[in-house]
Amino acid sequence: MNPNLKTTLKYLLLAAVFVYPLFSFANEYVLHVMVLIMIYMVLAMGLNIIPGFCGLLDLGYVGFYGIGAYTAGLLTIHFGLSFWVIVPLAALNGAIWGVLLGAPTLRLTGDYFAIVTFGFSELVVLFLTNEIWLTRGPLGLPGIDPVIIDFSWLSTLIHPQWDWYWEFIGPQPYFYLGLFLVALVYVIMGRMEDSRLGRAWFAIREDSIAASSCGVNLLTYKVIGFAISAAIGAVAGAFLARWTMFLSPDMFKFWESFLILCMVVLGGLGNFKGSLVGAAILIALGEVLRIILPALNLPTETRFLAYGMIMVLMMRFKPMGFFPAIATQSRKNPILIKLKKDLGSS
């Protein structure tokens, strides 16, 4: 296909997705799934830092997601804080736990790290289930306020009749808020990947001895990566809390970690753009299987059979994912493109 046409089609498709919620025929269920996809896009991009950039297996990502969600939920219920204050606080709380967990364990080999993160996320779920005084345990945390944009203090200053106060009702506003979050995390990831930080992570992943010889402090950079990844997970959790307006410990079981990891693997380790595609594919697949499986008389949990198989096959045949990040930059290099054209025509 003509590359120009391909790009145009890509942008047209994106634009169609952007304006879809504005139409009256927009289906509420489809919008719901799209918002869910965006939450998982944020999570998958955040998780990609650890196995993708640093080359360490993180099996407990959902722990930070849960911490972020409950931080947001509890702060909303008890203190009525605004969403815009809660997101940084949740991110901070996630990052603090990331440092607390990462600093002692990241000096060990990667295998130990994998299992410690797993244990940590299980402990988070146990804590959320059992500390009923704080989290209401298995009953869950209902009645979290939706997101509110409140500029009434500003509008009354300008004009007493104006009231800039919006409460998010229905899926449309959440769709655009989710889009904003995905875009924000996307930009941050892009900047980090090309920064000193990102290069240090890649160096650690490729050869930690060489990286260390070149003056990269392994522990510091790994802990920074883990903290940033945890913070992104917590942000996704905060969004989830204010979107579903209900939290329960069951939402943060190990399965979720596995699902997010599967998205990262499908999209390609170390390729955060691929994570977006991975998230979209797996959530859509999950929704389809949710309809097909009961028709076949199987419990819906068995969809993880497919996810397990995907991971094994990906690692066996396409360890860099379907969208490998390698050398895309050089392929776009105009000199190379021209050279290829010249060689092809001759």
Partner 1 sequence: MFEQQLINGLTLGMIYALIAVGYTMVYGVIQLINFAHGEIFMLSAFLAVTFITVFGLPIYVVIVLTMGCCALIGVMLDIFAYRPLRQSPRLAALITAIGMSIFLQNLAMIIWGSRPKPFVQDALPAFLRTTALTVGDANISWLQMSIFGTASMLMIALFLIINKTRVGTAMRALSQNRTGAALMGINVNRVISFTFALGSAMGAVAGIMVAIYYNTLYPTMGYVAGVKAFAAAVLGGIGSVPGAMIGGIVLGIAEALGAGYISSLYRDGIAYAVMIAVIIFRPSGILGKSTVEKV
Residues that bind partner 1 (CB under 8 A): 51, 55-57, 59, 104-105, 107-112, 114-116, 118-120, 122-123, 126, 129-130, 208-209, 212, 218, 254, 258, 261-262, 265, 269, 298-299, 301-302, 304-305, 307-312, 315-316, 319
72, 75, 80, 85 alpha-carbon torsion, rounded to 10°: -60
- Select 154 or 305, whichever has its Cβ closest to partner 1: 305
Smallest gap from Cβ 74 to partner 1, in A, equals 20
- Select 181 or 269, whichever has its Cβ closest to partner 1: 269
- Residue 100 C-beta-side C-alpha neighbours within 13 Å: 9
Smallest gap from Cβ 199 to partner 1, in A, equals 18
- Select 85 or 123, whichever has its Cβ closest to partner 1: 123
The SS3 of residue 195 is: coil
- Select 125 or 181, whichever has its Cβ closest to partner 1: 125
Smallest gap from Cβ 330 to partner 1, in A, equals 23
Compute φ and ψ for 296, nearest 5 degrees. Answer: -90, 10
DSSP label of 323: S
Whole-number Å distance between alpha carbons of 38 and 212: 36
Task: Give residue 191's identity as a one-letter amino acid code.
Answer: R
Non-local CB neighbours of 177 within 8 Å, separated by 6+ positions = 147, 168, 239
98, 103, 109, 110 alpha-carbon torsion, rounded to 10°: 10
The tokens of 342 are what? Answer: 């010249």
- Select 102 or 178, whichever has its Cβ closest to partner 1: 102
Smallest gap from Cβ 257 to partner 1, in A, equals 10
Smallest gap from Cβ 346 to partner 1, in A, equals 40
